[in-house]
Amino acid sequence: MRNRLLFPGILLLALAAPGVTGCAWRHAPPPEASTAPPPAPAPEPAPAPPAFVPPPPAPAPAPPVSAADKAYADGMTALQEGGYERALEQFAVALREKPGHPEASKGFDEALVALKKSGDAASAQGKTEETGKRWMGTLRYLNHPAAKGRTYPFTRAEVQGQVDRLTAAQMEKGLLNYRKGDIQAAIAAWKLILAYDPENEEAARSIRTASTQLENLKKIPPSNPP
């Protein structure tokens, strides 16, 4: 009887003693965390060197501008700026350097028509000298080889008639002043004709006559008052 009572107590002591396995797994401490350093990351691969890009080829040099093309370009600039006679001069150079230059031929025609129209506009404004100069310029370039065989809104005879009427009116104006005794005004009127028509002999002769008379009048001593 006493032995049966002691057995359970001995059994309990035996289970609690160190080294006894049994159910000791229930009280085993957790494994300690590893203190080893993490593995080093793999080194990144070195960047590849940039691919060689050859430089672009040098542009080819521009071809030289011919004398005809340069004259044509200068003529177009003058035409756009209203310098019609200058434009005609440059177009004539282009056609001389390159006969049959199509753009220069077209520019020549445009400039000639514009010059005549500018003379008409000056006439409407009563600007005699400008009118004469522009109409005379039109006549001069109507005789140019570039105008040969071309058709314009006017003929050479029509323009010449306008110049003749302008000159006749200016000659008459000078004569009226001369007859009134205003010799200086007469000379000024005739000189205006020479401004656009330097070879007009009638105007030149009238100026010489009036100038001589004016000099003679200056030599006459003033009369004494009574």
Is the pLDDT reported for residue 130 higher than 60?
A: yes
Among 68, 59, 116, which Cα is nearest to 92's?
Answer: 68
Is the pLDDT reported for residue 155 higher than 60?
A: yes
- The residues of the chain that CATH labels 1.20.58 are 157-218
Mean pLDDT over 11-40 rounds to 53
pLDDT tens string 6-15: 444 444 444 4
Q: What is the pLDDT of residue 35?
A: 65
3-state SS class at 173? helix
Among 166, 177, 156, which Cα is nearest to 200's?
Answer: 166
Name the band, by pLDDT with cuts 50, 70 and 90, for residue 224. low
**Residues found in the chain:** 226
3/1 Cα distance (integer angstroms):
5
Mean pLDDT over 49-73 rounds to 83
**Residue 89 falls in which region: left (phi positive, over 0), alpha (psi -120 to 50) or beta:** alpha
Tokens of 105: 């031929």
Q: What is the pLDDT of residue 226?
A: 55
3-state SS class at 35? coil
The CATH classification of domain 157-218, taken from the options 2.60.120, 3.90.1570, 1.20.58, 1.25.40: 1.20.58
Concatenate the DSSP letters of all residues of 75-115 into one string.
Answer: HHHHHHTT-HHHHHHHHHHHHHHSTT-HHHHHHHHHHHHHH
Mean pLDDT over 107-130 rounds to 97
- Check: CB of residue 198 under 8 Å from CB of residue 191: no
pTM greater than 0.75 (yes/no)? no
**Residue 19 falls in which region: left (phi positive, over 0), alpha (psi -120 to 50) or beta:** left
Concatenate the DSSP letters of all residues of 187-224 into one string.
Answer: HHHHHHHHHH-TT-HHHHHHHHHHHHHHHHHHHSPPPP
